[in-house]
């Protein structure tokens, strides 16, 4: 499904197709009259903490307006648990924001509500995006979604618990069998949750895809057809059921266990191993947990593919502020501004320039292992309009595949039927 090409060439072609000789970011004016852009964004700060993203966006908006006095930006930041619904409600009320930074874009693109990226950004900014992330923002080969920040995953493990269980604290498991053996040793040592398996609603699509990739499967094949019930995926979930859940190595019912619940337990020292993204490092370090990281274990060795996740920005057509929104987005993705956000929250940039800077910044050395995996990362099929409904079904049902007495083949068959029905029901996006 992933297609490699030179983004700069593609961007140039798109610009020519739209008949634009200079995109908005290259202009020297803000359009006619005073315009206030409405921005809705997600909060990446810690729950209850003092590092809300509101502060970042307000500071950035003020700096932008100083350079563009005819354009102001009204900022509204919401938690991840509510931001997608806030935007959906605004769209339903025919009052969409000009710019949104949320979790998904394909539904809005399919409804013809979004500007194409080629209508918004200057060509140098378009060409600066990491290719795999830019491609993940496409619907039928046209880019509507702007990646904002990204992450990959690593296996996290508690070094002290490994030592207590007689395991080498510098040698995390690399295969499923090694993972099983480590979980057994941790359980015998009295660890409450030897392996954290969050297949509850919060993290199910990510944890599911990590396991699929580690077993040689995925959600879709190379041409985008759903393969949820492939033989490889059925074998993977059968192995999880029989070798992790049934022996009691997960400590909890995976179908009812959310990611944050396990992240919190890891910080308390109650979890031996789990898959995690970069923000888990911050949580562990605040709680003085001695942790290590390793590649995701695979069936016969470290997983060759890794889950990549991106959050998205988009600009809505409804208010007609294409040029102003484009100017603002060009400003958002300037190397200094984009790097400031990624660095603030220990997240991975989505542009080549900011990624290069992070690789040179030793303060973020612990992030380099995550960055190194982007070249082989695979992303959710977010460009498929059917993914929203499919993802919702995965959140609700996939955990039942690995419960004691569960039937992985039956559950995955049901999810496959749901995905195919969603695919059939969704219409082609507006061009």
Phi, psi of 350 (to 5 degrees): -115, 5
What is the residue range of 13's domain?
7-151+308-379
Do 44 and 61 lie in one domain? The reply is yes
Phi, psi of 261 (to 5 degrees): -60, -45
pLDDT band at 7, cuts 50/70/90?
Answer: very low
> Does residue 401 contact residue 237 with C-beta atoms inside 8 Å?
yes
Find, among 25, 43, 39, the residue nearest to 75 by Cα.
Answer: 39
* pLDDT reported for residue 1: 33
* pLDDT reported for residue 20: 34
- Average pLDDT value for residue range 235-259: 96
Do 277 and 162 lie in one domain? The reply is yes
Does residue 18 have a pLDDT over 80?
no
Does residue 362 have a pLDDT over 60?
yes
The counts of H helices and E strands in the chain are 18, 12
- Does 129 reside within a domain? yes
Do 340 and 319 lie in one domain? The reply is yes
Do 228 and 112 lie in one domain? The reply is no
- Does 303 reside within a domain? no
* pLDDT reported for residue 430: 44
Locate the DSSP E strands across 206-260.
none
Does residue 25 have a pLDDT over 80?
no
* pLDDT reported for residue 14: 31
Count structural domains, the chain: 2
- Does 302 reside within a domain? no
Distance CA 61, CA 39 (A): 10
Do 354 and 320 lie in one domain? The reply is yes
Phi, psi of 290 (to 5 degrees): -80, 105
Distance CA 229, CA 372 (A): 30
How far, in Å, are 100, 244, 412 from residue 208 at the CA level? Answer: 27, 14, 11
Do 352 and 212 lie in one domain? The reply is no
User: Exposed, middle or buried, 119 (CB in 10 Å: 0-12/13-18/19+)?
Assistant: buried
Do 100 and 133 lie in one domain? The reply is yes
More confident residue, 426 or 253: 253
- Does 430 reside within a domain? no
pLDDT band at 39, cuts 50/70/90?
Answer: very high
- Does 300 reside within a domain? no
Whole-prediction pTM: 0.82
Burial profile 164-198: b = 16 or more Cβ within 10 angstroms, e = fewer: bbebebeebbbbbeebbebbebbbebebebbbbbb
Does residue 376 have a pLDDT over 90?
no
* pLDDT reported for residue 31: 43
Percent of the chain with pLDDT over 90: 79
- Return the C-alpha torsion angle 203, 208, 210, 213, nearest 10: -160
> Does residue 114 contact residue 318 with C-beta atoms inside 8 Å?
no
- Does 316 reside within a domain? yes
- Average pLDDT value for residue range 190-195: 98
Do 369 and 393 lie in one domain? The reply is no
Percent of the chain with pLDDT over 70: 90
Nearby residues of 67 by Cβ (< 8 Å), 6 or more positions away = 331
- Does 32 reside within a domain? yes
pLDDT per position as a tens digit, 84-95: 999 999 999 999
Does residue 182 have a pLDDT over 60?
yes
Does residue 30 have a pLDDT over 80?
no
* pLDDT reported for residue 27: 35
More confident residue, 163 or 203: 163
| Residue-averaged pLDDT of the chain | 89
Do 266 and 319 lie in one domain? The reply is no
- Tokens at residue 121, please? 């950004």
Do 316 and 354 lie in one domain? The reply is yes
Which of 27-36, 343-352, 389-398 comes out lowest in average pLDDT?
27-36
Total Cβ atoms within 10 A of residue 276: 25
CATH number of domain containing 366: 3.40.190.10
DSSP conformational letter for 345: T
Phi, psi of 430 (to 5 degrees): -70, 145
User: Exposed, middle or buried, 162 (CB in 10 Å: 0-12/13-18/19+)?
Assistant: buried
Do 236 and 291 lie in one domain? The reply is yes
Phi, psi of 221 (to 5 degrees): -90, -170
Does residue 279 have a pLDDT over 50?
yes
- Does 250 reside within a domain? yes
pLDDT band at 4, cuts 50/70/90?
Answer: very low
* pLDDT reported for residue 428: 47
Do 207 and 340 lie in one domain? The reply is no
């Amino acid at each position: 499904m992933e297609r490699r090409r030179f983004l700069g060439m593609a961007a140039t072609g798109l610009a020519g197709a739209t008949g634009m000789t200079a995109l908005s970011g290259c202009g020297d004016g803000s359009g006619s009259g005073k315009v206030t852009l409405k921005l809705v964004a997600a909060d990446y700060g810690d729950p209850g903490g003092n590092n809300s993203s509101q502060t970042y966006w307000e500071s950035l908006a003020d700096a932008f307006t100083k350079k563009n006095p005819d354009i102001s930006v009204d900022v509204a930041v919401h938690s991840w648990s509510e931001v997608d619904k806030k935007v959906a409600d605004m769209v339903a009320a025919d009052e969409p924001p000009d710019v949104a930074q949320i979790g998904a874009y394909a539904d809005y693109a399919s409804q013809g509500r979004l500007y194409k990226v080629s209508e918004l950004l200057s060509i140098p900014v378009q060409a600066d995006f990491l290719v795999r992330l830019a491609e993940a923002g496409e619907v039928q080969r046209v880019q509507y979604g702007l990646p904002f920040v990204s992450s990959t995953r690593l296996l996290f493990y508690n070094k002290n618990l490994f030592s207590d269980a007689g395991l080498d604290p510098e040698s995390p498991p690399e295969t499923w069998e090694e993972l099983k053996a480590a979980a057994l040793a941790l359980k015998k040592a009295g660890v409450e949750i030897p392996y954290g398996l969050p297949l509850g609603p919060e993290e199910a699509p990510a944890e599911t895809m990590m396991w699929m990739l580690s077993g040689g499967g995925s959600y879709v094949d190379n041409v985008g057809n759903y393969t949820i019930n492939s033989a490889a995926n059925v074998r993977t979930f059968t192995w999880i059921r029989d070798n992790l859940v049934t022996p009691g190595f997960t400590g909890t019912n995976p179908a009812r266990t959310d990611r944050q619940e396990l992240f919190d337990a890891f910080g308390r020292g109650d979890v031996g191993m789990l898959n995690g993204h970069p923000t888990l490092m911050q949580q562990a370090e605040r709680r003085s947990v001695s942790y290590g990281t390793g590649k995701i274990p695979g069936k016969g060795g470290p997983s060759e593919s890794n889950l990549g996740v991106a959050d998205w920005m988009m600009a809505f057509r409804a208010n007609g502020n294409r040029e102003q929104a484009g100017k603002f987005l060009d400003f958002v993705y300037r190397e200094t501004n984009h790097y400031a956000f990624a660095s603030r929250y220990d997240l991975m940039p989505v542009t080549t320039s900011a990624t290069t800077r992070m690789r040179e910044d030793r303060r973020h050395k612990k992030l380099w292992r995550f960055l190194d995996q982007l070249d082989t990362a695979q992303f959710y099929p977010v460009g498929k309009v059917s993914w929203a409904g499919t993802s919702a079904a995965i959140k609700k049902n996939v955990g039942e595949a690995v419960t004691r007495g569960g039937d992985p083949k039956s559950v995955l068959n049901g999810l496959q039927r749901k995905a195919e029905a969603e695919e059939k029901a969704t219409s082609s996006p507006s061009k």
